[in-house]
Structure 1
Amino acid sequence: MTQPPRLHASESMQSITDALQEHGVVIVEDLLDQDLLTRFNAELDSHLSERAQGAERGFVNAVVADFFGEHTEHLAGLAAKSTVFATEVLTHPIYRGVCDAVLLPNCAAYQLNLGQVLNRGPGGTAQYLHRDEAVWVHVPKPRPTLQLASVVALRDFTAENGATRVIPGSHLWDPQRQPTDAEAIPAVMKAGSGIIYLGSTIHAAGANTTADQWRRGLHISYCVGWLRTEENQVLSIPMEQVRALPRESQNLLGFGVHDAVAQRGGYLGTVDLSDPVELIAAGKL
């Protein structure tokens, strides 16, 4: 089994991006430094009860409910619940650098696809192996890279508490090749480290076989700006909070225009033929 490459956050963006492109995955150690991790967890503590939500969560359909399982506490719409997320994690230089390299060649601007905390409790079963970009099944193949995803350990990830399992190199597989559980490697890592992977890389959450550990992880993914996102960011955060955010965050949350006119394309997402972010700045939204 090929282990995913591990690089420290202090290494060059080129090294991190090269490893990601070659293996489809890279573990970045200390992606969130200790201060940022502490402040982020402190904000999350007020929203998480470490109580399995099960069916009461109200997932969009039964397949999604089964995918996440009955032993997971789910916190979605993070930009509205955590200022640290909206202003520091979402715009983190490593995410920006990797997205610039991987997604920007395929769009005029990229955006947050989803930002959620998955708190997987004892008894949580393993997810089936999958590719995240399969949600856009209607985009014909071959296709460019549509998505960059990651899972950050907000507490230590171990094989026993359900660390994300990943198959390095699977982004290059023939689409007909089926993965096996034996090929999936748990991304064991300390709190603050993150596993970054392409949307075409096969992975899954592991089973939590511990008696008392809640595996708290941040799932954050970005996609090209011309796709509809999994999480509706515009309806997930009140406008009064949006107005207070930096412009960079507003754009990443999908409030800005995807303007491909300079690339001989068109524009998407205007309000009254204007860029909504400009209208927010002018006090018109």
Structure 2
Amino acid sequence: MLAASRRTAALVPCRARHQTATDSHKLPVNIDQAARRIREDGYAVVPDFLDEPTVERLRCGLAPVFDAIGSRMDEDHGQQTLHTHNLLAKTRAVDEVLVDDRLLGLIEAVLGPDFQVSGVAAMRPGPGDRRQRMHQDDGHYPIPRPHPPLIVNTLIALDPFTAENGATEIVPGSHRFTERVDPEVPTVTVEMPTGALLLWEGAVWHRGGGNSTHNQYRRSINVNFNLAWLKQRENQFVGVPWEVAVEMPEKLQALIGYKLTNFGLGTVDYRNPIETVRQRLSH
């Protein structure tokens, strides 16, 4: 089961074992331009969001996670992907990405200042992975359409995204639709290089493409953000152990929900809940 996962790591050797975050150079991002694209088309791509040292560092840090992702075999479709969710409970490798001010600025430009992490996953679709069904990411919330943005979802490419290996397929402008789209509706295949960032509004219709290659894997980090007054996709308060949460940087604690929002939502005795967690752990 794990042999294919180990082959994945071998496709791009891990060369970043002695690198630190200071080795990276963060290129500026045109936040206004990306936000405008999301408003108009429902999605945007930042092609050079992460530089090569950062990508290598993430590949190395996530190698044990990807090795632990099982797979299932199917005579008709070959190897099928399994994702690893609740990633913040399993590794600190992705923390630097989540607290990147460029990423947070992009999310704020769409959702406003009061948002949170809804879920974090590592994904590794392999050869034979099937195309997903067309869907929206904000379908969990029973709010009539059209409505203001509730979710911004993101994919960070750790391998190239191509039409052949199953790059995300999006229906441009469909975040304004009020009815379900036809499964055969024309789509744009979002091909992008390693290190690129794809963002899309939760109402846009999209799907993961099928991987028709024999030897290409498509590793990525998926970070889902939603408005802070909505229920998270993954319950961060239960999923991330308290002992882990209290050691996180304050910015990351706030992102997973340890903060007061909208004039007092989420309090414990009208205090930040992380204070209660620290108090209980000390007893």
Normalized against structure 1, the TM-score is what?
Answer: 0.81
Counterparts of 1:191 and 1:181, CA distance in 2: 29
Match of 2:14 in 1: none
Match of 2:10 in 1: none
Query: What 5-or-longer segments of structure 1 have no aligned partner?
Result: 1-7, 56-68, 262-266
Match of 2:274 in 1: 277
Q: Deviations over 1:52-102 (max 9, x none)?
A: 5349xxxxxxxxxxxxx970131111112232312x111222221122121
Counterparts of 1:50 and 1:240, CA distance in 2: 23
Aligned partner of residue 119 in structure 2, secondary structure = strand
Match of 1:62 in 2: none
Counterpart check, 1:30 vs 2:48? yes
Match of 1:241 in 2: 244
Q: Deviations over 1:244-283 (max 9, x none)?
A: 111110010112222x23xxxxx32222331113445x65
Counterpart check, 1:78 vs 2:87? yes
Counterpart check, 1:155 vs 2:147? no
Contact between 1:50 and 1:73, CA under 8 Å: does it hold in 2? no
Contact between 2:29 and 2:102, CA under 8 Å: does it hold in 1? no
What is the CA distance between 1:22 and its match in structure 2? 1.6
Normalized against structure 2, the TM-score is what?
Answer: 0.81
Aligned partner of residue 49 in structure 1, secondary structure = helix
Letter in 1 for 2:165: N
Output aligned runs, 1:195-206, within 5 Å: 195-206=198-209
Counterparts of 2:154 and 2:117, CA distance in 1: 12
Counterpart check, 1:47 vs 2:65? yes
Match of 1:110 in 2: 115
Counterpart check, 1:18 vs 2:36? yes
What is the CA distance between 1:180 and its match in structure 2? 4.2
Counterpart check, 1:97 vs 2:105? yes
The more displaced of 12-21 and 22-31 is 12-21
Aligned partner of residue 158 in structure 1, secondary structure = coil
Structure 1: which 4+ aligned runs deviate by more than 6 Å? none
Match of 2:15 in 1: none
Contact between 2:174 and 2:203, CA under 8 Å: does it hold in 1? yes
Aligned partner of residue 83 in structure 2, secondary structure = strand
Counterparts of 1:229 and 1:130, CA distance in 2: 18
Match of 1:121 in 2: 126
Letter in 1 for 2:224: S
What's the % identity of the aligned pairs? 30
Contact between 1:153 and 1:216, CA under 8 Å: does it hold in 2? yes
Query: What 5-or-longer segments of structure 2 have no aligned partner?
Result: 1-25
Structure 1 residues 51 and 226, CA gap change in structure 2 (3 angstroms) = closer
Aligned partner of residue 67 in structure 2, secondary structure = coil
What is the CA distance between 1:121 and its match in structure 2? 1.5
Output aligned runs, 1:252-267, within 5 Å: 252-258=255-261, 260-261=262-263, 267=264
**Of 146, 149, 157, which residue of structure 2 is paired with 1:145?**
149
Counterparts of 1:36 and 1:113, CA distance in 2: 23
